[in-house]
Amino acid sequence: MANVEIVDFSDEWAEDFASLNYEWIEKYFSVEKHDREILDDPQTFVIDPGGQIFMAIVSGLAAGTVALIPSGDGVLELTKMAVAPEFQGMGIANHLMQSCIAYAETNGTRLIFLESHRSLQPALALYRKFGFVEVPTDPNSEYERADIRMELAISGVNR
Protein backbone atom coordinates (compact mmCIF):
# COMPACT_ATOMS: atom_id res chain seq x y z
CA MET A 1 0.00 0.00 0.00
CA ALA A 2 1.34 3.38 -1.01
CA ASN A 3 1.94 6.14 1.51
CA VAL A 4 -1.01 8.35 0.54
CA GLU A 5 -1.44 11.90 1.79
CA ILE A 6 -4.80 13.61 1.27
CA VAL A 7 -4.44 17.37 0.93
CA ASP A 8 -6.83 20.22 0.27
CA PHE A 9 -6.83 21.76 -3.16
CA SER A 10 -4.59 24.72 -3.91
CA ASP A 11 -3.62 26.38 -7.17
CA GLU A 12 -0.50 24.22 -7.35
CA TRP A 13 -2.76 21.19 -7.96
CA ALA A 14 -5.14 22.81 -10.49
CA GLU A 15 -3.43 21.34 -13.55
CA ASP A 16 -3.36 17.86 -11.98
CA PHE A 17 -7.04 18.10 -10.97
CA ALA A 18 -7.91 18.84 -14.58
CA SER A 19 -5.59 16.33 -16.26
CA LEU A 20 -6.56 13.42 -13.99
CA ASN A 21 -10.21 13.94 -14.86
CA TYR A 22 -9.82 14.76 -18.54
CA GLU A 23 -7.89 11.50 -18.89
CA TRP A 24 -10.72 9.21 -17.74
CA ILE A 25 -13.54 11.26 -19.26
CA GLU A 26 -11.89 11.25 -22.69
CA LYS A 27 -11.16 7.52 -22.38
CA TYR A 28 -14.78 6.51 -21.74
CA PHE A 29 -16.96 9.42 -22.90
CA SER A 30 -16.77 12.82 -24.49
CA VAL A 31 -16.01 15.93 -22.46
CA GLU A 32 -19.14 17.95 -21.79
CA LYS A 33 -19.61 21.67 -21.13
CA HIS A 34 -20.06 21.20 -17.37
CA ASP A 35 -16.87 19.11 -17.22
CA ARG A 36 -14.91 21.96 -18.81
CA GLU A 37 -16.39 24.53 -16.44
CA ILE A 38 -15.36 22.58 -13.33
CA LEU A 39 -11.99 21.35 -14.59
CA ASP A 40 -10.83 24.57 -16.22
CA ASP A 41 -11.97 26.84 -13.37
CA PRO A 42 -12.27 24.88 -10.12
CA GLN A 43 -11.95 28.03 -8.05
CA THR A 44 -15.16 29.51 -9.52
CA PHE A 45 -17.18 26.31 -9.87
CA VAL A 46 -16.11 24.35 -6.76
CA ILE A 47 -14.23 26.38 -4.16
CA ASP A 48 -15.99 29.78 -4.32
CA PRO A 49 -19.49 28.29 -3.85
CA GLY A 50 -18.19 26.60 -0.66
CA GLY A 51 -17.03 23.28 -2.09
CA GLN A 52 -13.92 21.25 -1.50
CA ILE A 53 -11.40 19.41 -3.65
CA PHE A 54 -9.16 16.74 -2.19
CA MET A 55 -5.94 15.61 -3.82
CA ALA A 56 -4.29 12.25 -3.09
CA ILE A 57 -0.53 12.70 -3.14
CA VAL A 58 1.98 9.86 -3.35
CA SER A 59 5.70 10.73 -3.22
CA GLY A 60 4.92 14.30 -4.25
CA LEU A 61 2.81 13.25 -7.25
CA ALA A 62 -0.91 13.82 -7.72
CA ALA A 63 -2.28 10.28 -7.72
CA GLY A 64 -5.98 11.05 -7.43
CA THR A 65 -8.63 13.65 -6.76
CA VAL A 66 -12.29 14.24 -5.94
CA ALA A 67 -14.54 17.29 -5.62
CA LEU A 68 -17.52 18.12 -3.44
CA ILE A 69 -19.80 20.88 -4.73
CA PRO A 70 -22.64 22.39 -2.65
CA SER A 71 -26.04 21.68 -4.17
CA GLY A 72 -28.66 23.13 -1.86
CA ASP A 73 -29.11 23.13 1.89
CA GLY A 74 -27.00 20.40 3.46
CA VAL A 75 -26.42 18.63 0.13
CA LEU A 76 -23.10 18.02 -1.60
CA GLU A 77 -22.45 16.60 -5.04
CA LEU A 78 -19.49 14.22 -5.20
CA THR A 79 -17.91 14.66 -8.60
CA LYS A 80 -14.68 14.49 -10.56
CA MET A 81 -13.23 11.48 -8.78
CA ALA A 82 -10.17 10.17 -10.55
CA VAL A 83 -7.15 8.03 -9.78
CA ALA A 84 -4.24 7.99 -12.21
CA PRO A 85 -3.92 4.60 -13.94
CA GLU A 86 -0.46 3.95 -12.50
CA PHE A 87 -1.86 4.37 -8.97
CA GLN A 88 -5.05 2.33 -9.34
CA GLY A 89 -5.48 -0.69 -7.10
CA MET A 90 -3.58 0.93 -4.21
CA GLY A 91 -6.60 1.99 -2.15
CA ILE A 92 -6.35 5.66 -3.10
CA ALA A 93 -10.05 5.94 -3.98
CA ASN A 94 -10.87 4.61 -0.51
CA HIS A 95 -8.80 7.39 1.08
CA LEU A 96 -10.53 9.98 -1.08
CA MET A 97 -13.99 8.66 -0.18
CA GLN A 98 -13.14 8.61 3.53
CA SER A 99 -12.03 12.24 3.28
CA CYS A 100 -15.26 13.23 1.54
CA ILE A 101 -17.44 11.54 4.14
CA ALA A 102 -15.44 12.98 7.05
CA TYR A 103 -15.71 16.44 5.48
CA ALA A 104 -19.47 16.03 5.06
CA GLU A 105 -19.92 14.83 8.63
CA THR A 106 -18.19 17.89 10.04
CA ASN A 107 -19.77 20.48 7.74
CA GLY A 108 -23.50 20.08 8.33
CA THR A 109 -24.08 17.91 5.29
CA ARG A 110 -27.12 15.65 5.39
CA LEU A 111 -26.76 14.08 1.93
CA ILE A 112 -24.08 13.42 -0.69
CA PHE A 113 -25.20 12.54 -4.20
CA LEU A 114 -23.35 11.62 -7.34
CA GLU A 115 -24.15 10.96 -10.97
CA SER A 116 -22.26 8.38 -12.95
CA HIS A 117 -22.57 5.85 -15.75
CA ARG A 118 -23.38 2.16 -15.38
CA SER A 119 -20.37 1.18 -17.48
CA LEU A 120 -18.04 2.41 -14.71
CA GLN A 121 -18.45 -0.72 -12.60
CA PRO A 122 -15.34 -0.28 -10.39
CA ALA A 123 -16.51 3.23 -9.45
CA LEU A 124 -20.05 2.05 -8.72
CA ALA A 125 -18.68 -0.78 -6.56
CA LEU A 126 -16.63 1.77 -4.59
CA TYR A 127 -19.68 3.96 -4.02
CA ARG A 128 -21.77 0.99 -2.88
CA LYS A 129 -18.98 -0.11 -0.53
CA PHE A 130 -19.26 3.27 1.19
CA GLY A 131 -23.04 3.05 1.51
CA PHE A 132 -24.30 4.93 -1.53
CA VAL A 133 -27.62 3.63 -2.84
CA GLU A 134 -29.20 4.06 -6.24
CA VAL A 135 -32.04 6.57 -6.53
CA PRO A 136 -33.99 7.82 -9.57
CA THR A 137 -31.93 9.84 -12.02
CA ASP A 138 -32.32 13.61 -12.27
CA PRO A 139 -34.02 14.58 -15.54
CA ASN A 140 -32.27 17.96 -15.23
CA SER A 141 -28.76 16.50 -14.89
CA GLU A 142 -26.00 18.64 -16.32
CA TYR A 143 -24.41 15.48 -17.76
CA GLU A 144 -25.71 13.71 -20.84
CA ARG A 145 -23.72 10.61 -19.93
CA ALA A 146 -25.28 10.23 -16.45
CA ASP A 147 -27.49 7.15 -16.34
CA ILE A 148 -27.28 6.43 -12.61
CA ARG A 149 -27.67 8.59 -9.52
CA MET A 150 -26.61 7.49 -6.06
CA GLU A 151 -27.01 9.05 -2.63
CA LEU A 152 -25.49 8.68 0.80
CA ALA A 153 -27.35 9.94 3.86
CA ILE A 154 -24.91 11.40 6.37
CA SER A 155 -25.60 10.49 9.98
CA GLY A 156 -24.25 12.25 13.01
CA VAL A 157 -24.46 15.63 11.33
CA ASN A 158 -22.97 18.44 13.41
CA ARG A 159 -25.09 21.55 12.98
Give the span between the Cα atoms of 124 and 138, in whole angstroms.
17
**Nearest-angstrom CA–CA distance, 97 and 129:** 10
* pLDDT tens digits, one per residue of 20-44: 999 999 999 999 999 999 999 999 9
Tell me the CATH number for domain 4-153.
3.40.630.30
pLDDT digits (tens, 9 = 90+) for 54-95: 999 999 999 999 999 999 999 999 999 999 999 999 999 999
